[in-house]
Structure 1
Amino acid sequence: MRLGDGRESGNVEDRRGSGGGGLPIGIAGGGIGTVVLVLVALFFGVDPSVILSGGGGEAPNGQVAQQQQGGQPDPAQEGSRRFVAQVLATTEDVWTDIFRRGGNTYQPPNLVLYSGGTQSACGFAQTATGPFYCPGDQKVYLDLDFFRDMERKLNAPGDFARAYVIAHEIGHHVQNQIGTLRRVEAERRGEGERESNALQVRVELQADCYAGVWANRTQQQRPVLEQGDIEEGINAAAAVGDDRLQRQARGTVVPESFTHGSSVQRVRWFRRGLEAGDPRQCDSFVGQP
């Protein structure tokens, strides 16, 4: 990606070096399997404790400037920090324009960088949790070490693959702002595990589609894509398909336990948003996902 001297978002809250505390997030709702629950941390989604326990809610969204809360971050990660801030800025530009054209106001989320662990409104976040969006405080949480895990453990290298992760999480914020997450939470109450999982798959696929919309609109606003970038994004979407992760974890695939969609589904919805550039084409709740 050619981000060059593009602006950095002011909505990055840097907690690296501040340490953590509290208890790990508990994951409710059985039936997926212990090994796969561990891999849920690598799925790029809304914090699993929120989705599985039906939590969430709204909190005031204030712009938090980049700040250090004690300790010193790893200087070697400065490039990654700047990259995240620049990508976040592009998501703000895209969604602000989309909301404005629809007669609405986009309220950008804060993105929290942390190392090791930190508190969130959804519970205690730790490195193994992976990137997630917390509706309770309207923040995205990211440990930069996850980018290394993407390359080494998921075989999903590349700067655009990393940008896709951020754009997917911002997609959940869009869903939260327009009321999709609250609607789905209400629908999931009283549903069985299979039906509840199926609804969550649709949530994740829509976030993938929104990530594609972001890529399309960003390229229109300011050409940043380089040769091979789209392939990196597609590879990343495929790498985090439920079927692939389950097969890697235990050698078998259990479709009824999917919570994020298969590799084919995730790639298809990312492509759909990328090609259309229109969030109205991202209604994953109609027809087959």
Structure 2
Amino acid sequence: MRSGVDGSNARTAVPRYLTTLLDDLDETWGGWFTELGWGDPAPGRVLIRSGTAYRTDCTDEDGVSPRIRSDEANAFFCSVDRAPDGDGRSTVGSVVLPVDTFAAIWDGDVFGVPSPIVGDFTAAIVVAHEYGHNVVHRMAQRFGIPAVRLPQGKNSELLADCLASNWASTAYKRDALGPKEILQVATLLPIIGDTGGATGHGSAVERAKALTIGLTGPQFNRQGQPSDCLTKYWPEFYSVR
């Protein structure tokens, strides 16, 4: 899935690329859910177009529902935001993607931090990470799992990394991913990993491990599977489902 983004056309090409990427994620994860009889996991889609803003129903640490600008240095999944999914159906639980923020990735700016290697897959893995949070949310809905039994602390973020890498492994199998894209992620990790390695998203090393498990399984000898990620970062799922 090549975006055709070259910097000069970023703000027109990025929405098209993000839509194509979300279509692919819907198809990949939808196939897995369908195979297991779990329904349709497709989230709502909020693409915050250049120069606009979106008020999320999710609250920040002060209990405020903020307005998210198109250049907000973040992307996220909100379990209570309602938006159309890829088929236009109103869906509770949405992936929120600021378009100008993703356009900046092609200019070497990843969430406000300079990156020497950027491109399609850098953007894709960020979106796939947020979609990973959606996958966990849909699984919790399907089995009525309470919040206290969801993955806790940085395991929530590492699980999303691992699930994003599960999707990437399918792209690799389809010859849509190669060594250059793996290098993009390796370069991205020090930027998005927590300093100190104790809280939040996990350290660069921890995130690298999560992405590797998702790609190649825990023994690095096969295509990673969602069960590998669940066993490592959400083992409670098997006892509460």
Q: Among 212, 217, 233, which residue is 2:165 paired with? A: 212
Please give the secondary structure, in 2, of the residue aligned with 1:141. strand
Output the amino acid matched with 2:229. Answer: C
2:78 alignment counterpart:
134
Where does residue 167 of structure 1 map in the other structure?
128
User: C-alpha distance in 1, partners of 2:124/2:182?
Assistant: 11
Which consecutive unaligned segments of at least 5 residues does structure 2 have?
Answer: 59-64, 82-92, 218-223, 237-241
Equivalent-residue separation in structure 1 for 2:170 and 2:209 (angstroms): 18
Superposed CA offset, 1:86-124 (max 9, x none) = 111111111011112222222311221114421122122
- From 265, 276, 282, the equivalent of 2:206 is 265
Q: TM-score, normalised by structure 1?
A: 0.61
The 1:3–1:104 alpha-carbon spacing in structure 2 relative to 1, beyond 3 Å, is farther
Instruction: Give the SS at the match of 1:260.
Output: coil
User: Which residue of 2 is the match for residue 55 of structure 1?
Assistant: none
- Aligned with residue 178 of structure 1, among 122, 128, 139: 139
The question of whether the paired residues in 1 share the 8 Å contact of 2:193 and 2:207 is answered with yes
Question: Greater shift after overlay, 143-152 or 166-175?
Answer: 143-152
Select 2:19's aligned residue among 73, 79, 85. Answer: 85
What CA deviation, in whole Å up to 9, does each residue of 1:169-198 have, x standing for no partner?
100000100018x8573259xxxxxxxxx9
- Corresponding residue for 2:62? none
CA RMSD of aligned residues (A): 2.8
Equivalences for residues 196-207 of structure 1 within 5 A:
199-207=152-160
SS in 1 for 2:80: coil
Indicate if the aligned counterparts of 1:90 and 1:218 stay in contact, CA closer than 8 A.
no
In structure 2, the residue matched to 1:71 is: none
- Aligned match for 1:143, one of 78, 98, 103: 98
Q: Is the 8 A contact 1:3 1:224 kept in 2?
A: no
User: Contact conserved, 2:193 with 2:202, CA < 8 A, in 1?
Assistant: yes
Q: Kindly indicate whether structure 1 or structure 2 has the higher relative contact order, using CA contacts under 8 Å at least 6 residues apart.
A: 1
Alignment-derived partner of residue 48 in structure 1: none
> Structure 2 CA distance, aligned partners of 1:230 and 1:119?
34
Which is richer in strand? 2
Shift of 1:265: 0.5
Q: What percent identity do the matched residue pairs reach?
A: 28
Q: Report the CA distance shift for 1:112/1:267 in structure 2 as closer, same or farther (over 3 A).
A: same
Q: Match of 1:285?
A: 234
Distance in 2 separating the partners of 1:260 and 1:240: 8
C-alpha distance in 2, partners of 1:275/1:76? 32
Aligned to 1:33: none
Of residues 42, 46, 60, the one that matches 1:112 is 46
